[in-house]
Amino acid sequence: MKQFALLTLTGRDQPGIVARTARVLFESGCNIEDSSMTQLRGQFTIMLVLGMPEKVSDEELRQQLQAVAGEMELLVHLSRIEDVPSAEPSGEDADACYINVLGADKPGIVYRVTRTLEEVGGNIIDLQTQTLGSAERPVYAMIITAELAADVEPVRQRMLEVARDLGVEITVRDADAPPL
Amino acid sequence: MAILDILTYPNDTLREPCEPVTAFADPAFQTFVDDLLETMHAAPGCVGIAAPQVGMLKELLIMDCSLTRKPPKGHHGLQVVCNPVILDWSGMEVAREGCLSLPDFTGNVMRAQDVSVQFQDRHGEEIAMNMQGFEARVIQHEMDHLEGRLFIDRVISRKADIFKRKVYGKARR
Ligand SMILES: [Zn+2]
């Protein structure tokens, strides 16, 4: 059976992090099955699901990664994972929606929105936030993609309440997509 | 009339550019239009189909936004579109799309919000109309098929933008 591992590397961004990491993975025969790599405020974060070759032990791979990590001051974490679905995400049979939040930055936006989503049985597939605007007048933007247990309408109603309480704008869009 | 087989990715024909429709008076062409219409109606939830999706490399597509669960305001209902050209467009919007030729996935695609299109109907009559929102998205998606393009070519981020398809309900007929 195919073996998988989750690898994360984080650290202050500089050119070459991805290339040097990818080189180690390539040379050790690991396959990058899925990846998310992004820069957050000067920090670079890499999250990978690796298909693991049989010939390399976790210890060997860790050592090789550690050589890059030491050189570039990165934190590395490697752990085996099981029950990896062949295609992702697992949204089969589920309705999905996008939730866009935009408003003045204030404490609790992420918490209130995601708590409400959990209460209505939603499951977050992707969440990204960004602070926009000037330092004096920051604007907070959050985009969530979520799978829903039920219809999108109750989610929209609940999010309207949250939007009123927080004084932000929340739009909930049905991710319905008829075949074309 | 007949329900035609829909080609699914990967398939070389889906990648071929189409030839303009010229033989409007040919009974075989008119029969093909009827078959394509029947094929669209037989596919659950489907609101648009392009000729190359059934292996016919002609600049022909059929769309009908009245077939959606919540038909968009101001849509033009059933349109048989031959030799379409986009004259003008404005606005950009990202939304999720599905495709009969990629039955297992949906993806987020950026499209123009408003388009002005010129085309010929099934009898060769010249028509021009403005389409907005979802209807504009449908014709842009179908016109991509006429050039051998699929929505996956326009997806930016696989992680955030491609989703395993939810299953559509039973066929309407
Ligand atoms: Zn399509």
Q: Note the pLDDT tens digit of each residue in B49-68.
A: 999 999 999 999 999 999 98
| pLDDT, greater one: A27 or B171 | A27
If you compute the radius of gyration of chain A from its CA atoms, what whole number of angstroms results? 20
| pLDDT, greater one: B166 or A129 | A129
Q: According to the model, what pLDDT value does residue A84 have?
A: 80
pLDDT in tens, B90-145: 998 888 899 999 988 888 899 999 999 999 999 999 999 999 999 999 999 999 99
Residue A91 above 80 pLDDT? no
Site of tokens 């099955």: A33
Q: According to the model, what pLDDT value does residue B126 have?
A: 97
Contacts of A145 in chain B (CB under 8 A): 160
Nearest to A47 by CA among A70, A89, A75, A85: A75
- A115: its two tokens: 């708590």
Which of B96, B99, B167 is the closest to A175 by Cβ?
B96
- Where does chain A show beta strands of DSSP type E? 3-12, 31-40, 43-52, 74-81, 95-104, 123-133, 138-148, 169-174
Contacts of A126 in chain B (CB under 8 A): 159-160
Contact A96 B165 (CB under 8 A): no
Question: Mean pLDDT, chain A, as a whole number?
Answer: 90
pLDDT category at A144 given cuts 50, 70, 90 is very high
- Per the CB < 8 A criterion, the answer to whether B143 and B84 are in contact is yes
If you compute the radius of gyration of chain B from its CA atoms, what whole number of angstroms results? 15
Contacts of B141 in chain A (CB under 8 A): 180
Q: According to the model, what pLDDT value does residue A90 have?
A: 40
> Which class is A95-174 in CATH?
alpha beta
- B57: its two tokens: 């490399």
| pLDDT, greater one: A6 or A54 | A6
pLDDT exceeding 70 applies to what percent of chain A? 95
CATH 3.30.70.20 correct for B12-164:
no
pLDDT category at A37 given cuts 50, 70, 90 is very high
pLDDT in tens, B14-55: 999 999 999 999 999 999 999 999 999 999 889 999 999 999
Q: Report residues near ion ligand 1: CB below 5 Å.
A: A 180; B 99
Distance, CA of B36 to CA of B58 (rounded, Å): 12
pLDDT in tens, B78-91: 999 999 999 999 99
Measure B53 CA to ligand 1 centroid, in angstroms: 7
Residue B168 above 90 pLDDT? no
| pLDDT, greater one: A86 or B42 | B42
Residue B9 above 60 pLDDT? yes
| pLDDT, greater one: B131 or A89 | B131
Give the CA distances from residue A5 to residues A2, A62, A88, in Å, rounded to whole numbers and listed in that order.
10, 12, 16
pLDDT in tens, A44-73: 999 999 999 988 899 999 999 999 999 999
**Fold equal for A3-81 and A95-174:** yes
* Mean per-residue pLDDT, A143-165: 91
CATH number for the segment(s) A3-81:
3.30.70.260
Q: According to the model, what pLDDT value does residue B70 have?
A: 75
Residue A117 above 90 pLDDT? yes
Q: According to the model, what pLDDT value does residue B157 have?
A: 65
Work out the minimum CA distance from B45 to partner chain A, whole angstroms.
6
pLDDT category at B160 given cuts 50, 70, 90 is low
CA closest to B109 among chain A residues: A177
pLDDT category at B173 given cuts 50, 70, 90 is very low
| B142 carries an active-site annotation | yes
Which of B142, B160, B167 is the closest to A93 by Cβ?
B167
**CB hemisphere CA count around B72 (13 angstroms):** 17
User: What does the domain layout of chain A look like in residue ranges?
Assistant: 3-81, 95-174
Measure A116 CA to ligand 1 centroid, in angstroms: 35
- Per the CB < 8 A criterion, the answer to whether B88 and B111 are in contact is no
